[in-house]
Structure 1
Amino acid sequence: MTIQESQAPSDLPATAARGQLFINGEWRPSADGATTAVINPGTGEQVETVAAATTQDIDAAVAAAKAAFEDGRWSRLSGRERSRVLNKASALMRERSEELALAESTDVGKPITFARVVDVATAADQYEYVAALAQQLDGSVRETPLKAHAYTKKEALGVVAAITPFNFPLILSSTKIAAALAAGNSVVHKPASDTPLSALLMAEILTEAGVPAGVINVVTGSGGALGDHLVAHPDVNKVAFTGSTEIGRHVAALAGQHLRPVTAELGGNAANIVFADADLEKAIGTVISAFVFNSGQFCMGGPRLLVERPIYDTILGILKDAVAGVPVGDPTNPETVMGPLASRKQLEKVAGYVEAARAAGGQIITGGEELNINGGFFYAPTVIAGLDNSSPAVREEIFGPVLTVQPFDTEEEAIEMANSTPYGLASGVQTSSISRAHRVSSRLEAGIVWVNSWALLDPAVPFGGVKDSGWGREYGPEALESYTRTKSVIIATD
């Protein structure tokens, strides 16, 4: 692969948010004054410290959110009034896009170019999209044989606990916070402990846009007991969670004890099926981007490649040369396509999967090694052949820049292989046959299927998982619906 050189270091945004919790419209230290380090995965160096919240801070944030909801400072505004504020937030995100992009790049290690054109743009679009939906949360009159006037109305739920992971902090927080606010809820946001910076910046931006005190609260710090306390808090009315399947099960079980609704967008291990009639040049580009994007730390990535046997050897040969040319290196270099993994722990996890696959007889077509770049957490984009469906590298979610390649002989076999893992978040089909595209897509067990593309996402199009990839949908009107409840009103006319 091509190693991208370091650029001149850039300073993180100068903001009042840095290092503190945001509770009830105020920046404050944690209750015990504790802090935690924020590490730049591109260099392995500490770039910031942020407050490490306690359960006392969680209680304060939830209390502020509940009070804000109950007094109606946000929840009883009209949809049009909330829409104006969310549109302003979207505009401010675009004005401050460089700050947000730099925070994401420094925090996560993602290439600055992608942080600008993907992460910031997508999050700003989401606020803009739900701003329009906020004006359309209408009920309906129901015709009945009753001597009564019956109608339904949509109401906000109350306090939403939004818990987000490390890989797409800005995008995945926007999918929850924007929709929750559009519906009139208050929010307590717990970002991943490794990647809190954009969450704090967004609290500042939302406040500047006009979101009242107490409606958005951000508590930083480690997960575990802190997250459990938030999920189980008696004044939380809904949990919106993105993360691993293992933790998602725990969150859902804990919330279930309190009969609390949960949206859970969990792990993925998507299959990308390439048929012999596909446009190979286009398909190869799709295959590579699907597994190196965000260094493979993408729950809707495509780490499993299924190739129709007549073109299997050809595909392996093309991948060997093409993947080796992927520009890897300093995330601040605009030419970088793949940056580091988000942490040393994640790097070691990925390396462990590759070494286990190698020991089991997997053929390393390219990559398969840690890269020594600037002291960061880099792993070479890796292609592995010769594994069957029982291999952990095929069956489990690696969450790194690793692609396994397997041949298939028939359409039926491809579908069976694609559906053979516990996950069901995304899938892909590369073919020139429109009938095959429809036929195969209808049988893939996934919440979203891309045909002759990968990762085309828009705030209007819902996504979410089946099987071990969770339930509920984010994006689209479906997301906003999940942050409301339906009330029926029946007024006797006799």
Structure 2
Amino acid sequence: MATAYDTSLGLYIAGTWRTGEGRDTHAVLNPATGETLAQLPLATAADLDEALAAADRGFKAWRATAPDARAAMLQKTAALLRERADRIARIATTEQGKILAEAKGEVAFAAALLDFHAGEALRIYGRVLPRPAGTRSLVLQQPVGPVAAFCAWNFPVMNVVRKIAPALAAGCSIIIKPSEETAGSAVEVLRCFQDAGLPGDVAQCVFGVPDMVSRQLLASPVTRKLSFTGSVPVGKHLAALAADTMMKTTMELGGHGPVLVFDDCDLEKTLDTLVAHKFRNAGQVCVAPTRFHVQDGIYDAFAAGFAARTKALAVGDGMDAASQMGPMANPRRPDAIAGLVDDALSAGARLLAGGERQTSGNGFFYQPTVLADVPLTARAMNDEPFGPVALLRPFATVDDAIEQANRLPFGLAAYCFTENGRRQNLLGDAIEAGMVAINGVRLSFPDSPFGGMKDSGHGSEDGPEGVQAHLVTKTVHMS
């Protein structure tokens, strides 16, 4: 059953939806077919000024709102997301490409994030310091102020909720700029907040030319925090803009997830787990396992098993229940992946599976691909592929594996598979990544921090740390 895509996309500013009215537009595409789904209006400078003014008003009111009222609004929004989950998931699949089962899981996780942050709204504590009788020193945690948030297209529902929920829990207002390529999902999320009763000045949603929007929002004295999810180069650019006003920043940037597979792992279980996770969302996941470093003794068996499982994957429209991997999200991605694969092959890598665009009408498909013996000089071993490509290399010792895991400037996610408990402890300590999964692949939970180190950014989303990132510390001394 197909759900018609809602073409009434718009900007949400000061509690009202703004549509065409002479604004420039951006075509939102269906990546499975290449067809245009809707025309999205783009914000003007005047729209952004109005959003900033609304966020300023909204912060003054929202920070004074009782924590239990903030929590109730977040819980009601979560209930609306669950009530509308099927419709929202279908919109996400239609405009982003991931298979419907993944989109439904994404909506469910977004609702869980809202519930968790509702609880955190009630747990923003300070402390009283010991002082002589008749005097007090108080440490207070207060909302930082209006937030400018920018998020990527790969998780069009979750990314939006991940930005808004902690800001609102902390007492901040927010202006969010989701991806123009997945605008329909973001619009549906904002409608849930609106229908839950969130005052219109508290959350604004704008779309537009990224450089223009970011420069205007980050130059404004209204904005007191930047939260960004996206590529390393863009993140560094935005951080430089944010430095001009010394605003607080949370930067969730790219990764190049190493996977260390040791010869004592449960090989068949490890392969089943990793192949499914590698090609989730066509590999367009910042924490995707990417560089597979496999111990010598099981390397050939691992490579053969990985390739066989990859060749068996059904690729097609994400709305088709038979599909196990959908298209890439936009027409740029297959070209980028083809360039990386060609470069790796010319450098001496062996092709074990895939390696070509997959023809399916005008959709943006690329075959799930496995490359073995990939030289470290290949671009794919150094630049984040962000696509359905698995890169395999052998290693000999634990030290070799750790060296390879830490070789790049990225430090977002890493994965290790070994049954040796002492080795598990060592790897957890030695690997330079904000998140490490051992004998598993899940890294996102509402109550645990999500973020990286090195070029993969700083600060955390989710967990109590995500709310803390929207607070400032004030000390009050009373005599």
Regarding TM over 0.5, the answer is yes
Distance (whole Å) between structure 2 residues aligned to residue 300 and residue 61 of structure 1: 32
Distance (whole Å) between structure 1 residues aligned to residue 133 and residue 179 of structure 2: 52
228-237 vs 160-169, which deviates more? 228-237
The Cα of 1:433 is off from its aligned counterpart by 1.2
AA in 1 matched with 2:5 = L
Q: RMSD across aligned C-alpha pairs, in angstroms?
A: 1.4
The Cα of 1:335 is off from its aligned counterpart by 2.8
The aligned runs of 1:94-493 (5 Å cut-off) are: 94-117=82-105, 119-144=106-131, 148-492=135-479
AA in 1 matched with 2:35 = E
Post-superposition CA distance 1:281-333 (Å, at most 9, x none): 11102221232011011010001100000000111111121110012111001
Asked if the contact 1:389–1:417 (Cα under 8 Å) also holds between the matched residues in 2, the reply is no
Q: Corresponding residue for 2:30?
A: 40
270-279 vs 331-340, which deviates more? 331-340
Percent of residue pairs identical: 37
Asked if the contact 1:38–1:47 (Cα under 8 Å) also holds between the matched residues in 2, the reply is yes
Asked if the contact 1:329–1:340 (Cα under 8 Å) also holds between the matched residues in 2, the reply is yes
Distance (whole Å) between structure 2 residues aligned to residue 428 and residue 20 of structure 1: 40
Distance (whole Å) between structure 2 residues aligned to residue 372 and residue 10 of structure 1: 25
Structure 2 counterpart SS, 1:195: helix
Structure 2 counterpart SS, 1:220: coil
Structure 2 counterpart SS, 1:305: strand
Structure 1 counterpart SS, 2:122: helix
Asked if the contact 2:375–2:381 (Cα under 8 Å) also holds between the matched residues in 1, the reply is yes
Q: Corresponding residue for 1:76?
A: 64
Asked if the contact 1:303–1:404 (Cα under 8 Å) also holds between the matched residues in 2, the reply is yes
Asked if the contact 1:32–1:54 (Cα under 8 Å) also holds between the matched residues in 2, the reply is no
The Cα of 1:228 is off from its aligned counterpart by 2.1
Distance (whole Å) between structure 1 residues aligned to residue 19 and residue 391 of structure 2: 46
AA in 2 matched with 1:35 = T
Asked if the contact 1:287–1:305 (Cα under 8 Å) also holds between the matched residues in 2, the reply is no
Distance (whole Å) between structure 1 residues aligned to residue 272 and residue 51 of structure 2: 45
Distance (whole Å) between structure 2 residues aligned to residue 23 and residue 373 of structure 1: 39
How high is the TM-score relative to the length of structure 2? Answer: 0.98
Q: Corresponding residue for 1:22?
A: 12
Distance (whole Å) between structure 2 residues aligned to residue 385 and residue 222 of structure 1: 40
The Cα of 1:445 is off from its aligned counterpart by 0.3
Structure 2 counterpart SS, 1:57: helix
Ranges in structure 2 where 5+ consecutive residues have no aligned partner:
none
Counterpart selection for 2:5 from 12, 15, 23: 12
The Cα of 1:377 is off from its aligned counterpart by 0.4
The Cα of 1:334 is off from its aligned counterpart by 2.2
Counterpart selection for 2:79 from 91, 97, 102: 91
Asked if the contact 1:462–1:478 (Cα under 8 Å) also holds between the matched residues in 2, the reply is yes
Structure 2 counterpart SS, 1:194: helix
Distance (whole Å) between structure 1 residues aligned to residue 124 and residue 425 of structure 2: 33
Structure 2 counterpart SS, 1:371: coil
The Cα of 1:147 is off from its aligned counterpart by 5.7
Distance (whole Å) between structure 1 residues aligned to residue 133 and residue 406 of structure 2: 48
The Cα of 1:55 is off from its aligned counterpart by 2.0
Distance (whole Å) between structure 1 residues aligned to residue 133 and residue 366 of structure 2: 67
Structure 2 counterpart SS, 1:329: coil
Asked if the contact 2:343–2:378 (Cα under 8 Å) also holds between the matched residues in 1, the reply is no
Asked if the contact 2:229–2:253 (Cα under 8 Å) also holds between the matched residues in 1, the reply is yes
